[in-house]
């Protein structure tokens, strides 16, 4: 088995986690959550989305949140699903941006009301503009293993989106098990195939714990050489457009497991516990 010495955890709770909460979490409380997360020593936090407030009211305070992140001086990332969003992010001095496209055509249509082809086209414009401004770019591929509408997802479907992201010179690609249906074998094989086809790309594993397999999937991805994982404090978040999908894998569970395996994350478990208690109190 392969056990790396270090793993990078990317905290996605304040965005991926909270965006699915129906009840609006006040800006002050979001800031406090971000402050607590930053104090854990986490390398990066996904904190906001510049999606239109009508689509995602929970993220309507993106400007204020990123201003706070700039004040804290923490490395963070914000979602910019379209050109308008990117313009706002640039104006707000966001250092890292993220876009997402589904590997499943039906999911993409349901989620962003657009075909994969059109999404990729808009992404390539976003990438070009973001590069001009020297931003770090993350590409998320959603539904990389299975889809609530289409069932099993073929590798060729994932590869199509990945290739387009790589052509756009993204800095890292997060491979999402958005509905939490992956198992360790498919995770291992898919990452192995991706590494073979795109050996210089930086990969991130994004797992959901719907079937209780997220930790096992992380270990499987590690065996294929992946050392970066998204996780959400308290397991916050699912996906509002993906029926039945429960939360992201919980940061505190991932970190506890890794530390017990003598794999460094740089995170302080005690501080993580405080952040978790606060996150849970928001719901
Ligand atoms: Mg997620």
Whole-model pTM? 0.96
* In the predicted structure, residue 108 carries a pLDDT above the cut 70: yes
* In the predicted structure, residue 136 carries a pLDDT above the cut 60: yes
239 labelled catalytic: yes
pLDDT of residue 76: 98
pLDDT of residue 53: 87
Q: Residue 227 contacts by C-beta under 8 Å, 6 or more apart in sequence?
A: 4, 6, 7, 8
pLDDT of residue 244: 53
Query: What's the pLDDT tens digit per position in 168-218?
Result: 999 999 999 999 999 999 999 999 999 999 999 999 999 999 999 999 999
Task: Give the distance (Å) from ligand 1 centre to CA of residue 230.
Answer: 8
Work out the end-to-end distance of the chain between its first and last CA atoms, rounded to an integer number of angstroms.
Answer: 38
Is 46 part of a structural domain of the chain?
yes
Task: Give the distance (Å) from ligand 1 centre to CA of residue 214.
Answer: 11
Query: What's the pLDDT tens digit per position in 226-279?
Result: 999 999 999 988 555 555 556 899 999 999 999 999 999 999 999 999 999 999
Is 268 part of a structural domain of the chain?
no
* In the predicted structure, residue 155 carries a pLDDT above the cut 90: yes
Query: What's the pLDDT tens digit per position in 31-55?
Result: 999 999 999 999 999 999 998 888 8
Task: Give the distance (Å) from ligand 1 centre to CA of residue 207.
Answer: 7
pLDDT of residue 52: 87
Is 270 part of a structural domain of the chain?
no
* In the predicted structure, residue 131 carries a pLDDT above the cut 90: yes
Is 273 part of a structural domain of the chain?
no
Radius of gyration of the chain (CA): 17
Question: Which residue range(s) make up the domain with 210?
Answer: 8-262
* In the predicted structure, residue 73 carries a pLDDT above the cut 70: yes
Task: Give the distance (Å) from ligand 1 centre to CA of residue 248.
Answer: 5
> In this structure, what CATH number is given to the domain that contains residue 122?
3.20.20.70
Is 70 part of a structural domain of the chain?
yes
Which member of 69, 123, 144, 239 is catalytic? 239
Task: Give the distance (Å) from ligand 1 centre to CA of residue 240.
Answer: 10
Task: Give the distance (Å) from ligand 1 centre to CA of residue 144.
Answer: 12
∠ CA 35-93-76 to the nearest 5 degrees?
Answer: 35
* In the predicted structure, residue 88 carries a pLDDT above the cut 60: yes
pLDDT of residue 111: 85
* In the predicted structure, residue 130 carries a pLDDT above the cut 70: yes
Task: Give the distance (Å) from ligand 1 centre to CA of residue 237.
Answer: 7
- Please give the tally of structural domains in the chain: 1
pLDDT above 90: percentage of residues in the chain: 88
pLDDT band for position 93 (50/70/90)? very high
Is 77 part of a structural domain of the chain?
yes
């Amino acid at each position: 088995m392969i056990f790396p010495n270090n793993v990078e955890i990317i905290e996605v709770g304040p965005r991926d986690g909270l965006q699915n909460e129906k009840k609006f979490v006040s800006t002050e409380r979001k800031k406090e959550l971000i402050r607590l997360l930053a104090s854990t020593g986490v390398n990066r936090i996904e904190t906001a989305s510049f999606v239109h407030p009508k689509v995602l009211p929970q993220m309507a305070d993106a400007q204020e949140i990123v201003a706070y992140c700039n004040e804290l001086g923490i490395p963070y990332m914000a979602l910019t699903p379209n050109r308008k969003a990117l313009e706002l992010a640039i104006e707000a001095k966001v250092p890292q941006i993220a876009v997402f496209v589904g590997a499943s055509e039906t999911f993409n249509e349901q989620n962003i009301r657009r075909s994969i082809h059109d999404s990729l086209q808009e992404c390539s414009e976003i990438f070009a503009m973001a590069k001009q401004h020297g931003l770090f770019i993350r590409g998320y591929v959603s539904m990389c293993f299975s889809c609530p509408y289409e069932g099993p997802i073929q590798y060729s479907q994932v590869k199509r989106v990945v290739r387009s992201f790589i052509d756009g010179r993204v800095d890292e690609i997060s491979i999402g098990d958005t509905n939490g249906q992956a198992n360790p074998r498919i995770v291992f094989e898919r990452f192995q195939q991706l590494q073979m086809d795109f050996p210089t790309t930086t990969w991130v594993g994004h797992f959901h714990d719907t079937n209780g397999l997220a930790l096992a999937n992380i270990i499987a991805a590690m065996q294929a050489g992946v050392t970066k994982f998204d996780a959400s404090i308290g397991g916050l978040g699912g996906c509002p457009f993906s029926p039945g999908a429960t939360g992201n894998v919980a940061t505190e569970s991932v970190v506890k497991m890794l530390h017990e395996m003598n794999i460094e994350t740089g995170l302080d478990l005690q501080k993580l516990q405080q952040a978790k208690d606060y996150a849970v109190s928001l719901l």
